[in-house]
Amino acid sequence: MLPSALLFVLAATLTREPSQTSSPDLAQGEGREIVLAACTGCHTTELIVRSHMSRKSWDATLTWMQDTQGLARLEPSVRKAILDYLEKTQGLEAEEESETTGPWASPRYRPNPIW
């Protein structure tokens, strides 16, 4: 049986306008619809697509959004599905992983290679 929060996320996904759920820029994959339902109420998929972080950083970002931006508390299974999707589609390669933070650290997004 699905947890009630997951049912809520799925119901929200099914009731959205087609333009909100058919996001060609967000990679296909398990958890995509949950990410669309949980995240696009506050920001576009463009913000997700241009961000690349480690699972730890994505988890910290979700916590920050809950603590300061009004993101609802997520059931552990929903949070895991979101993190699994983001790690797979918007994660960092092992060699890109860095615990360094601060103004001189690598950006959380992949810079434009043309610059």
Each residue's pLDDT tens digit, 26-55: 899 999 999 999 999 999 999 999 889 999
pLDDT value at residue 29: 93
pTM of the entire predicted model: 0.64
Token pair 């910290």: residue: 60
Interacting residues of 53 by C-beta distance below 8 A, sequence separation 6+:
61, 86, 90, 91, 92, 108
* Local confidence pLDDT in tens for the 115 residues of the chain: 445 554 444 455 444 444 444 456 889 999 999 999 999 999 999 999 988 999 999 999 999 999 999 999 999 999 999 999 999 999 986 545 555 544 445 555 555 666 5
pLDDT value at residue 111: 59
Report domain extents, the chain: 4-93
pLDDT value at residue 25: 85
pLDDT value at residue 83: 96
pLDDT value at residue 39: 92
